[in-house]
Structure 1
Amino acid sequence: MSTIDAIQTSDIFEQSAVPQPKQHGKAGGFLHRTNVLTGTGLGLVLSIVTYAVGSKLVPWGTQNSDYSQVGLNALIGATYIAWVIGFMIGIGAFAGPFRWMLGHDITHDDAEYMAGKGQGKWKYWKYTTDHKVVGIQYLVMALVLLGCGGFFAMLIRTELGVTWAEVFDPNFYNSLIGTHGIVMIIAMIIVVSGPLGNFIMPIMIGSRDMAFPRLNALSFWLLFAAVPPLLSNLLLGGIRDGWTAYQPLGTQAPIGMLGYQICIITFAFS
């Protein structure tokens, strides 16, 4: 290649280079301060505030019990939704959209930080786009869910094994069966698609990362946010109609069913 051709080629590359947005502050910015603890904290704060404000609007003590129940369901549902939104904001999942709303964009340095550069072991507790990190996060989450499901199974076997006494209330026992079922199903779904699809598949096809790494990370943390509402149903009356939520038992279930519903909806989005 002659010198003239080399100069012309370099000019073409310089002209076709994508201009990078101006860096505002330190690379990563807000993401430096976000992790699973900030997500949990903001989720709890937002859910508590939502419950406190909503409780002033719910028609407590009304003579119409059906109307009061509808208001209570709306209050608990709004509290669960506030938890999910607050957690996702606190974990840093919406950092990109927030910056776009302010007229900025994600720079190359920001993208590298989100991919785990310079985060050390903290990247496993943060909103990270590295497909290997996300795969490990899925694996750990699946193992935790399998452990929870196994614990619920042991409680069920305890009730069945103690034939001379009633260990648990019948409604709580039915809730254990339903919660055990849905926890194990979710765990078995993600234990296949999560670690294999995220950690191994990109390596097998020679890809540097997933096609949409930020959506990939968003998917995991939505799953993480969906677990507490599901487990909290045991404290709110449980799901007494099994993990399938058969009707009309699903409609007649206590407010613990809302935790199950929010979990399924959030899991579907993930």
Structure 2
Amino acid sequence: SSVVSVPGPPGPPGLPGSPGYSNPVRNSTQCLEAHRAAEGTLAYVSEKGGELYIRARNGWRKIQVCVVCDLYQLLRSLHLVALNAPLKGDMRGIRGADFQCYQQARSMGLTATYRAFLSSHLQDLATIVRKADRNDMPVVNLRIVFIGGEVLFSSWMSIFSGNGGIFDPSTPIYSFDGRNVMTDSAPEKLVWHGSSTVGIRLTTNYCEAWRTADMAVTGQAALLQTGRLLGQHVRSCSNHYIVLCIENTYVGNSHQRRN
């Protein structure tokens, strides 16, 4: 015969267990973990109303809302970069110099517009950057440290205050191919600019609008070791000196390299 078991009365309740563990960052970043990304990469997750993450060495970390505005300010900057080789005064005019800035920037995957840091018969140096970007964006070098670069000047117009464009000469100025022109092998660290200390063209000292390398013609240059980007040194246009390029319009994150 079969025996029917009758359940007894319920026992006393057990001790409360430990609370469950929830890691919202892990939940939000599960989709990110499937993708390999370089350290410093930013990612936007649309769940939970939208969250921003950065790839750290040990995984993804959430960026708190309170620092997003600071992050935005870091992104807003104008890059000052040297051409890969020094040039004589004959640059085929300002358009030729501008084209070299454009060409070398594009060859490195930089999508912003770069123009030569020079005065000419067509322009005063101080007016190259558009008015909306002249006062509220720092001028930085090309070194990517998390986001942005190392600050050379607090703003574009601060260069032209009349003090000769004072900056810290220990801060590197990089060429498009990554050399620090402040410490490379070039014996003279001079940069052409053809300008006064307030960024106005000097028509007698800009190598005939950057169209001649004649030894008898002169151009205005600055000696970088002195920490003055607009130093007033008159030199023969036959010399090979550094030519700088300025990102003349901030356009979102266009300073970042494209893969």
Give the alignment's TM-score, normalised by structure 1: 0.23
**Larger relative helix fraction:** 1
**Larger relative strand fraction:** 2
Which structure has more relative contact order (CA 8 Å, sep 6+)? It is: 2
Give the alignment's TM-score, normalised by structure 2: 0.24
